[in-house]
Amino acid sequence: MGFILALAGCAAVPVERAAGARVVIAESRAEKTQTGLSDLAIHAIGLVGVPYKWGGNTPAGGFDCSGLVVYVAYRAKGLKLPRTVVEMSRFGKEVEVDQRLPGDLIFFNTTGHPFSHVGIYVGKNRFVHAPSEGGTVRIESLLSSYWAPRLTTVRRLAKS
């Protein structure tokens, strides 16, 4: 698993937030001393390779982004989250990007709306998500030229 979570370097990437304020994606300071909801991260990594399916919410039927997060949160911690990304963005507590921990939810603006995509942070500047039709659940870098400018917020769910 170490190769999957390899650190993408200590580079910092500027990001445009939904409200226009700039934030920098840097190495997580909190990650070095805290574990967060790491069970979510572990469960999410275990689903890498499951096909994308719009409206999907099971490994057998495939996942869309919110279906993946709902499934993982329930299986890992018994947390019941709403099904849509917008509703999900209201749960938990917003945390600074540099305070993210494995298991935090990572929200993106991929369609012109601040909460149009969600993934689960797994550590070392990586997140798991169900990207799009024809794809599979996969791990990607927050530092990529596609994802970095689209990051809108990080939210931490309550531990149960």
CATH value at residue 86: 3.90.1720.10
Residue 114 lies in a domain: yes
The pLDDT, as a whole number, for residue 122 is: 95
pLDDT on residue 142: 95
Instruction: Summarize pLDDT for 112-142 with one digit per residue, the tens.
Output: 998 999 999 999 999 999 999 899 999 999 9
**Total structural domains within the chain:** 1
pLDDT of residue 29: 54
Q: Is the model's pLDDT at 21 over the cut of 60?
A: no
Dihedral over Cα of 78, 68, 33, 156: its sign: negative
pLDDT of res. 25: 56
Domain of residue 102 covers: 30-156
In a domain, 1, yes or no: no
CA dist., res. 30 & res. 44, Å (int)? 20
**pLDDT exceeds 70 at position 106:** yes
In a domain, 146, yes or no: yes
**Residue 2 confidence (pLDDT) above 80:** no
Q: Average the pLDDT over 16-42 and give the result.
A: 57
Q: Is residue 9 part of a domain?
A: no
- Say if 4 falls within a structural domain: no
Residue 20 lies inside a defined structural domain of this protein: no
Q: Around 149, how many Cα atoms within 13 Å sit in the side-chain half-sphere?
A: 4
Instruction: Let me know if residue 6 belongs to a domain.
Output: no
Tens digit of each residue's pLDDT (9 = 90 or more) over 67-102: 999 999 999 999 999 999 999 999 999 999 999 999
Catalytic positions: 65, 117, 129
What pTM did the predictor assign? 0.79
pLDDT category, 27, cuts 50, 70, 90?
low
The DSSP bridge pattern shows strands 105-108 and 117-123 to be: antiparallel
pLDDT reading at 15 higher than 50: no
The answer to whether the beta carbons of residues 96 and 43 sit under 8 Å apart is no
pLDDT of residue 158: 78
> Within a domain: residue 21?
no
